[in-house]
Amino acid sequence: MFTTSLKTPLEWVSYPPTWFPEKPNVDSYIFLLGPSGHYFSSLFGYQIMPGGPSWASVKPIFDNIILSGLGAILTVLLAVPASYSLSRYRRGENQLLLFIMLFEMIPQFALLVPLVIFFSTLQLIDTYLGMTLGYTVFTLPLAIWFLKGFFDAIPKEIDEAALTDGCTRLQVLYKALLPLLRAGLSVTTLFVFILNWSDLSLELGLVLSHGRVTTIPAYMAGLLGVAGQLYGPMSALGTIAVIPVFAFGLAIQKYLVRGFTSGAIR
Amino acid sequence: MARLLLEGLTKKFGNFVAVDGLKLEIKSGTFTSLLGPSGCGKTTTLRMVAGLEVPTTGKILIDDRDVTDLPSRERKIGLVFQSYALFPDMTVFDNLAFGLRVAKISEAELRKQVKEFAETFQLDNVLESKTAKLGLDQRQRVALARTMITKPSILLLDEPLSNLDAGLRAKVRVELKRIRQQLNQTILFVTHDQLEAMSMADMIAVMDRGKLLQHASPREIYNKPNALFVANFIGSPTMNFLQCTLVHKEKGTFLDGGTFLLDVSRFESLFPTTSEYILGIRPEDVQIMNSGRADIEAVIELIEPLGPKKILNLRLEDSLVKTFVPYEHKCELGQKLRLGFNRDRMHIFDKSSGATIV
């Protein structure tokens, strides 16, 4: 995908496929991110798309960032009280685990249809609110489980010390525990963000193709139709889209390794 | 400084009765120890007083105010945990200031109080350190200071000395006594170490399996245990116990232990109808009789040197009798000794409880 993004249009569909572009160029990227009309004429020799606003392609990227971010924040906001009570009161702990496993086993597309119907009744299709809520629906169970793990790592005695020092249960949460959870909270938020970012089904389902809300996959689908298969720009967009996921993976690999090996030491 | 009253306090976990109908009064300003083996319910009791466990039945009154249904923060108690439970990632200052901040005391006033307490507890040089960097006794002082700064009516301590090595223990013991004296604080602490209780407390409440056995001063508990369990639990080395049967003869009433016969006629009226008893006598009350009438003869089986003294373990049929001798006393394994019991310091226990004679 990366190499395709650097190829000329002729090479996009050449057969046999070439691995490396003969003349790598960033035309595809410029097409994507820059004023569209101008470059299109230089690629094909004629103007196909009227010069749209230059940031037409950037919008999906921004939209995606905003939406994934909002979704992550909402999810974490809801997850914190839930995981706090689960961690401290232990009720429903087993049920939660079961529920999460079942939930993750169901293909998202299956859940999508009823969700779309539900949302369209509420007129939430193609809205920022709708997308955010949609993201939350799919990521909340996992977020709760994640966060609960972090809560569990804090000994209950800290709670009790805060209680005997004069806190109400709620105060225990935000005065004593949250400062200790900064790491856990950031990790969870980031994790949910990435999940949202890569969530194709939701992004296709809840959004109209040329509606108010644009997300990357939707836009990419649009790129397929306009003037033949624009694989170059598509690959360029894809490459851009993959960067956050890649970066995240690099960032947490240290913890993944630690996670794998710490189990071995026992 | 407050009076604590526990009435009929019971706590059940499912079918397990952790605390059974506990009735206890702790007078204001006293330093009391809840003493007992692991699992006897003392920590559960402490936690109920603190408000961290809800009693199944019973009442808790602090200063004649019924706090049984009140949450911890409304009880004016302070609890110091066995593990200190300091807030990690916070400085000592923040730990101390925590309770005051929750009470919304102004920062200026707060600062003053924290500094004061830090000085009292010798923590002023580590105020800005994170708690993770502190040594054990420093941590305990932080835990203590953090609790005391909120001016609790009753100070509760859960096994305050068990984490510390011998040297630190002595230090902290002194520290706690000082606090008690200077502030006239009512203190209740839980421990399984009878030495700790004996050396620090004004009053000891001995518990076993959820029940209160005896609540008295250390001296009284040592000299007049009201139950076999108490007698066995207190005192190091433990009291000697010998089985015997009550027999009535024309000459009088005797306790027949097989190897010895004791005239207990003068206490005849105190004995209930059962006949199986246990004679208890502390090692220091067993004397080696070089002349005169001896109660038993036993053979030295083990000699334990203990600094200025030695403990002799002597075999008497199927029991071991211990006694003290000064370090210089000459004796060897296998030597037969004639021992006498100090008549004034014997305890006789019914097989299940204690009928005592001192």
ipTM for this prediction: 0.73
Determine whether the interchain pair A175/B99 forms a contact, defined as Cβ–Cβ distance below 8 Å.
no
pLDDT given for residue A225 in this prediction: 56
Determine whether the interchain pair A161/B85 forms a contact, defined as Cβ–Cβ distance below 8 Å.
yes
* pLDDT tens-digit readout, B168-206: 888 888 878 887 887 778 889 999 988 888 888 899 999
Residue A214 pLDDT exceeds 90: no
Give the least confident one: A190-194, A254-258, B2-6, B64-68. A254-258
**Confidence class for position A156, pLDDT limits 50, 70, 90:** confident
Domain B240-350, CATH among 3.40.50.1100, 2.40.50.140, 2.30.30.100, 3.40.50.720:
2.40.50.140
Of all residues in chain B, the one with the smallest CA distance to A176 is: B87
Q: Let me know how many helices (H) and strands (E) chain A has, helices first.
A: 13, 0
According to the per-residue pLDDT averaged within each range, which of A130-144, A220-234, A239-253 is highest? A130-144
Q: Domain B4-233: give its CATH architecture.
A: 3-Layer(aba) Sandwich (3.40)
> What does the alpha-carbon distance between residue B6 and residue B25 come to, in Å, rounded to a whole number?
6
Is pTM beyond 0.80? Reply is no
Of all residues in chain A, the one with the smallest CA distance to B47 is: A160
Domain ranges of chain B: 4-233, 240-350
Q: Which residues contact A163 (CB under 8 A, 6 or more apart)?
A: A169, A172, B51, B52, B71, B72, B73
User: For the residues of B149-191, what is the DSSP string, one character each?
Assistant: TT--SEEEEESTTTTS-HHHHHHHHHHHHHHHHHH--EEEEEE
Determine whether the interchain pair A158/B87 forms a contact, defined as Cβ–Cβ distance below 8 Å.
yes
* pLDDT tens-digit readout, B69-88: 888 888 888 899 888 888 88
Residue A6: both structure tokens together: 């650097």
Task: Please check whether residue A204 touches B, CB under 8 A.
Answer: no
**Confidence class for position A226, pLDDT limits 50, 70, 90:** low
The dotted CATH code for A61-214 is: 1.10.3720.10
> What does the alpha-carbon distance between residue A36 and residue A106 come to, in Å, rounded to a whole number?
41
Of all residues in chain A, the one with the smallest CA distance to B143 is: A161
Task: Please check whether residue A157 touches B, CB under 8 A.
Answer: yes
**Confidence class for position A43, pLDDT limits 50, 70, 90:** very low
> What does the alpha-carbon distance between residue B118 and residue B123 come to, in Å, rounded to a whole number?
5
DSSP state of B227: S
Give me chain A's average pLDDT, please: 70
B129-135: Cβ within 8 A, 24+ apart: B129/B91, B129/B92, B130/B88, B130/B89, B130/B90, B130/B91, B130/B92, B131/B86, B131/B87, B131/B88, B131/B89, B131/B90, B131/B91, B131/B92, B131/B95, B132/B88, B132/B89, B134/B92
pLDDT given for residue A222 in this prediction: 60
Domain ranges of chain A: 4-49+226-244, 61-214
